[in-house]
Structure 1
């Protein structure tokens, strides 16, 4: 059965299906001319009711004359799929550079990556490989102070002196040469401070406070000895030297004289403002560190006492508060305190 070339409907019994008037014929002829068809039958077959619209015809012409699309269209940076392992690795490396004063291990870096991307984190051997590939010769992974796979930047004394030698070969003014020499001396002292063994799991003991000169490196002690003019400045050298070490590695070390002074000031005056002010100036530990020390001391004392009594002993804690109307440091003319003792019978 034949179909109409205009509307594509079936032609039944040769009867007229669509009556084409003069206006419609003009529109079809114009559409045929604009669409560049030479054969009318091909044009009529292709152009249905919607194709007589001039806007649609212009769009088809523009599409046929437009350049071919690229086989691999460029993608925007924002369209790149996020990779946890590749992108989180840079966050881990940035964390390493920001905390290079601490003795971070490969395991610490893996734990940091697990906190960022969970199960997508690298294993320890692969993390070690990626860190070495990124930093190459400027990184050193070795055992240090009993800890395995400690990641440190290769800033040894020989490297510092070699860099100073290369800088000294350049033509500089006397002022620039002096600044370069001072920076080299500071880098040497800082490198030796970072190489000293530290352990933040335990607070300094009384012996550590008494042997204060053992807690600063030789280079720093020599520098301060030359700097000070006193004949016997051992305590001054130790106190200022430990303050420098505390400022160099604030999150890793607890210097004995710094902690001892903070405890003594808190015991004598009981002022948080005073302790924190001296701490901000770099003279002692913070008030929060003093509180942690006191809590640890109580727990440690309790553990030591519990080892000396059994079920045959009776232990009781007795506590009471006391108020004194004194002119204290805070100016409130009142001192509030509390004491607690443990009573054990029979005596041990």
Structure 2
């Protein structure tokens, strides 16, 4: 008699049959899982290990292949929910001994062979991404002596990432150099990067948590189909459903599953089933869940039975799980957060445009913030506002607290994943003052400003927007404007700009001509406000955009053979001045009064200087000048061709703005050579430009002329002997 046990025929595993019921998959009739997750498959293996049924006999020998996703499997979602249900497992295996973990050799960690990885060739494919050689990504062979260290780094990264596929692949090839393994440099550096590993773990944790909760909810739906929505129409306490749901989460390996709140489950059930489910509330007791098809009398009768059961001593543990005051507060906060998020979602944000200068004031920043969010933050931070329940919607209450507005901008930026004027402005201010990339990224991590990449993207967008003009460069602030002043004027100032003028190797030097425009008049744009700046996706200028034709093309100045002479000075008597006018007499009286007051206050001078006094006494309100910086001309500033070029540019800009003449201020070095050019009377500049010295250089020249005339006549000795100046200072003054 043959006493050998019968040989169990292993069922075929493929993607066309369910690995639990072994029936063909039909997505039209039942919901099918084609790409199961690692956690979902692990739950099936745990359940089969406890059941020890035919499913266990079929899938357990192929555990490593299935979990490493080298062998594709599929199953019905309902089959998996029933198969891994804790209550179903306990019913089918009541014996405790049958639920002990298996210690057979099947659970040992085995190494997969190269024959089991038929779709992958380590000699022709990257052992990270599995792709072959491409024109962009060339495969790099593992060099001598680095195979072991490379393998250890990839194994460590795979363990941190919980990447079973790469982990099993490394176990299959113990010596990468011997197997002539190849990889993409970019794939390898990205895979072992600690920053990318941290991001992958965070993303995997979020996806896994969401997937596990979805799988647990699917199992809970199957439980509800057998109870609440069954033919018996069972009335079930909400706390029992929560316990069942938490049990599913624990079986799936979810951490902190016991902390799941009852009200969260209630909201999810209500959202999913809608009118199909009814929640009956009892004061001091858990809510009762029943089907909407149950009659009112049956619901009250069954609820009364459950209520009487919860009052008995053996059910004292049920009321302890009833939502407490803390749960109620959390529910209120969750609802408030939903209201605020809805209002923040309604904010109109133009992602492809940066705000103009006119839109960066506190009024526009306040308009960006919803009133509900502003009031909520104000109540949280201000005791007075919380006590008086003041709202910005009330009459007379202004939304002008900059600190509250800044907090609201930070919250909106984090919620919507957008930038605002305050978060962008703070990063630009830090970049301008300190130039620290590390500090900007640190503030970005704390949610206070945009990232350093966004700062570079903004600077690039501004540079492209400012330089996108015709041959004659006009600053954007002066384009498309309408002057509302009576006598507007545009004047300019030119000077040399030196930074690291002389270095040891002659590199990293800057010696250029700088120019600034001053628009003295009130301006208003045609559309009422400034135009925004288009936001570009790139973070740097191209090679062709870094050099502007405006600042590179020099107009050569041909110096005349004979040095030009200054034009003759007109007779002063020809100047028409009405000496008897009331305005002239009033000005002389004011000037005389200022002199008397200045002389009378010898001990403690309280009268301001002449310029300040006339500024205080003047009845004319001058507008604040608008300053516009022009691109540098990268050439020696004292060269005649450089000066001639900048003068031509300024005349062209003035003509473009409708001004036939322009006043240009310069220092002594540039002024002297500019006057030589003007004395030659070039046709492009004659009658269109006037040069003047700056205030400090004019004073220096005036004092130097006094020294030229009287320095040798004893003036130097008088200044030194009278102890007015020291000898060295007196020589420099004269």
TM-score exceeds 0.5: no
Q: TM-score, normalised by structure 2?
A: 0.22
Instruction: Indicate the structure with greater helix content.
Output: 1
Q: TM-score, normalised by structure 1?
A: 0.43
